[in-house]
Amino acid sequence: MFDKDAQKSKEPYGSSANPSSIELGIQRPVNDVDVDAEIELQRKESGMPPLDADVPSAPLDWDHPDDEKNPRNWAFGDRVFQTIPPALFSFVVTLASPIYTTATQQIQDEFNVSFEVALVPLTTHTLGFALGPMLAAPLSEMFGRKYVYLISFALFLLFTMASGLAPNVTALCIFRLIAGCVGAPALAVGAGTIGDIWDTHKDGGLAAMFFIMSPFLGSSLGPVFGGLISYHRTWRWTMWLVLLVGGPMFLWFIPFMKETYKPAILKKRAIERGQKLPPKPSGAEAMKKVLLITLFRPVHMLFTEPIVIALSLYTAFIFGVLFLFFAAIPYSFGTQYHFDRRQSGLIFISSVIGIILGSMTFGVIDRTIYKRRYEHAIANGQKAPVELRLISAMVGSLALPVSLFWFAWTCRTSIHWIVPTLSIIPFGFSMMLIFLASATYLVDTYQFMAAASALAANGLLRYGFGAVFPLFAIQMYTNLGIGMATTALGIIAVVLTAVPFVFYQFGRYFREKSGYDTLKG
């Protein structure tokens, strides 16, 4: 089509060269007045769009590995500071869940309801934790992580205040449900923030552990603070305490929090540079994606994936027992040792000690046994099995039934109260080891979005158990007695001990049979 002289020309493209033709590797002839028509014809014959057509822009990405906008390239102190807000928000949200449980007698007296009804606000708040993450995903897609934190936590504080002003138990249940729903995004989005800022395989292990510890510490310290404040004040002051802790924290972080979500950062920079943004998916496609990741896929995995089913049931059982203890421990120590609400709440300090010890033990196992065996496998040209992550769960699974049987057989008037109190330490210890090992194993086993769905399935079942277990705690302990009721829990724990050992041995088989994108071999 082009004349031979033009094809042999070595002249530069010059200012008149069409950018699209340069991209195609076509040199513009100098003397051909119909060159644009020729190029258009070539593009048409090859199935390419016309030159004046809108060409979709390339996906946004960092300019280079050391891009200063990348949160992983921020100064170390800045990264540490940006890790604190999601951890503290998670702490306050979970602190609010059981904080009033030591004051249930006051709710019974004020609203003239039974003990079981007085515990329902604990159930509704925890149920909100299961439902809330379905809000977190679409919000973070639309506004980024920073605004999810600020909007959701502001609403959480608002409905916590409404809970403190509730005129009846029905309003209290509703306000607590909404507070749990709008507070849950802090729990759901926090793990993403840690992944934005830190490379957990290199320098982010401590940050990840700090974040994971915070909700467990919040749940365990709730009865401690609630018991102390309700001893001198009414149950409403437990809500005011949450506001007094969370309000100033929220105001302090507003001007200092940074966005860490990669798409949100790159979108803002592209707008500042005048770049064309990639096309957005339609509303229907976006909603389909959200529902798939946050609801349909997690539920499907709970019914079809043995790894997800077993580990979720195990962690859900432990979490359910923790929330059952919010009612059972005040009852047990009240009937056996005549503890008041303040003294009963202080028992949960043992759980806090166990959580700290469990987190430290996980770190030691991860940095010694796991790392050594991982590096040995790599050095020998082998794939390190992800089942190595379950070593910590195997240790924790042995401590859990010990804790429950210890409590069951020692919480009686003939034995000093310190003995059953100390039994709660191995419970917190085992809870952290099993949860941390399960979470890291699920993340390493399932790839990309499937890992998010696996963790969502785990959270859905975990908070579901946490919501239900307190409802039958008192009936169970009243009808069976403290010893038999806790022994029954211990027997279930013994059966579940097999879970990490079975998957440590046969996990590869289940991974290869999975219908999802898992790490094979």
**Residues 345, 225 contacting (CB under 8 angstroms):** yes
Architecture of domain 78-272 in this structure: Up-down Bundle (1.20)
- What is the structure's pLDDT at 391? 93
Amino acid present at 326: F
**Domain 295-521: which CATH class?**
mainly alpha
**Residues 434, 508 contacting (CB under 8 angstroms):** no
Please indicate whether the domains covering 78-272 and 295-521 agree at the CATH topology level.
Answer: yes
- What is the structure's pLDDT at 445? 87
**Residues 101, 344 contacting (CB under 8 angstroms):** no
- What is the structure's pLDDT at 290? 66
Q: Which residues of 231-243 are buried (b: 16+ CB within 10 A; e: fewer)?
A: eeeebbbbbbbbb
- What is the structure's pLDDT at 116? 86
Give the contacts of 511 (CB within 8 A, at least 6 positions apart): 307, 386, 445, 518, 519, 520
- Mean pLDDT per segment of 10 residues, for the chain of length 521 residues? 42 37 35 46 49 52 82 89 90 92 88 90 92 74 82 94 94 95 86 81 74 90 90 90 93 88 84 76 64 75 92 96 93 92 91 94 87 81 84 95 96 94 96 92 79 83 92 92 96 96 92 78 57
- What is the structure's pLDDT at 336? 94
Q: What is the CA radius of gyration of the chain?
A: 28
Around 314, how many Cα atoms within 13 Å sit in the side-chain half-sphere? 33
Q: How far is CA 254 from CA 153, 185, 476, in A?
A: 11, 17, 45
- What is the structure's pLDDT at 425? 96
Give the separation between CA 498 and CA 197, rounded to whole angstroms.
36
Give me the residue spans of the domains in the chain.
Answer: 4-45, 78-272, 295-521
